[in-house]
Amino acid sequence: MAATPIFAPELFIPNGVRDVDFYINGLGASELRRFSNDDGTIHVSELSIEGAVFHLHEETRNPRSFSPVRHQGSTVTIGLFVDDVDAYMARAIEAGARIGSPAQDYDYGYRQGDVVDPFGHVWMFESRI
C-alpha cells in the first residue's frame, strides 16, 4: 500500500545557529527532534505546526541550497492556512518577524498576509473568507 504524500519543506538557515525559538514563539511550532553539531549549533531541527512538519537545516555546500540571507531574498513563500490570519501575523511580528504584506481580504476569496522570519523565509498566512 502506498503512503499518502506529505509536504515537508526543508528551510535552510545559516551555519552556526543555536536558537530557533522564533518558530516556537512566533508560529506556535513544536520542535520534534534536533540534531546538533559538536559545537552545539543546529544541524537539523524538525518542527511541526499542528501536524504540518518542516525542517530547518544548516546551509550545506550544495550551491543550489542556501539560506535566504546569502542572497538577501527567497525563492519561495511558505503558505500556511490558519483560522485567524491576523492573530498569526501579530504573533510572528511580536516574535521578531517583519511584515512583508499586511493582512487583507482579496476578491478571489482569501485573507492573506505575509511576514519575513528572522532567517529571511517568507511565510504567508491565509484563510478562506
List the domain range (segments joined by +) for residue 92. Answer: 10-59+75-128
pLDDT for 41 = 95
On whether residue 114 sits in a domain, the answer given is yes
Cell of 18: 543555536
On whether residue 83 sits in a domain, the answer given is yes
On whether residue 49 sits in a domain, the answer given is yes
Distance CA 52, CA 23 (A): 13
- The rounded percent of the chain whose pLDDT value lies above 70 is 98
On whether residue 118 sits in a domain, the answer given is yes
On whether residue 4 sits in a domain, the answer given is no
On whether residue 1 sits in a domain, the answer given is no
Distance CA 95, CA 56 (A): 17
CA proximity to 118, closest of 46, 71, 68, 75: 68
Count: domains in the chain: 1
Highest mean pLDDT: which range of 16-20, 62-66, 102-106: 102-106
Residue with more model confidence, 15 or 94: 94
CB count within 10 Å of CB 108 equals 8
On whether residue 86 sits in a domain, the answer given is yes
1 confidence band (pLDDT: 50, 70, 90): low
pTM of the model: 0.90
Distance CA 22, CA 126 (A): 19
CATH classification at residue 107: 3.10.180.10
pLDDT for 4 = 78
**pLDDT per position as a tens digit, 37-92:** 999 999 999 999 999 999 999 987 777 788 898 888 888 999 999 999 999 999 99
